[in-house]
């Protein structure tokens, strides 16, 4: 069984070394909405991936996307 990661800044998971884990590009919008609210990424289908959204919004990461919005 996988050991639970410690929650850190902004309730983001950290690995054993303390590094904040990044969302994978194949994370679906519906999963992100569970964390950021139903209003997050309006206009995108629930089965769209984070990678597709980042490409369309012309940003490199979820962090950059959050700053942009």
Q: Considering the chain, what is the average pLDDT of its residues? A: 80
Report pTM.
0.66
How far CA 17 is from CA of 5, 8, 13, in Å, comes to 11, 12, 11
The whole-number pLDDT of residue 10 equals 57
Q: Where does the pLDDT of residue 66 fall: very low under 50, low under 70, confident under 90, or very high at 90 and above?
A: confident
Tell me the per-residue pLDDT of 19-62, one tens digit each, with 9 for 90 and over.
Answer: 556 678 889 999 999 988 999 999 999 999 999 999 999 999 88
Compute, in degrees rounded to 10, the torsion defined by CA atoms 51, 64, 69, 17: 90
Alpha helices in 1-69 (DSSP H): 29-36, 50-57, 62-68
């Amino acid at each position: 069984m996988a050991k639970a990661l410690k929650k850190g800044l902004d309730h983001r998971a950290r690995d054993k070394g303390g590094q904040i884990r990044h969302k994978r590009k194949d994370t679906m919008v519906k999963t992100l909405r569970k964390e950021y609210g139903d209003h997050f990424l309006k206009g995108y289908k629930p089965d769209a991936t984070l990678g597709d959204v980042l490409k369309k919004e012309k940003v490199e990461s979820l962090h950059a996307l959050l700053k942009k919005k």
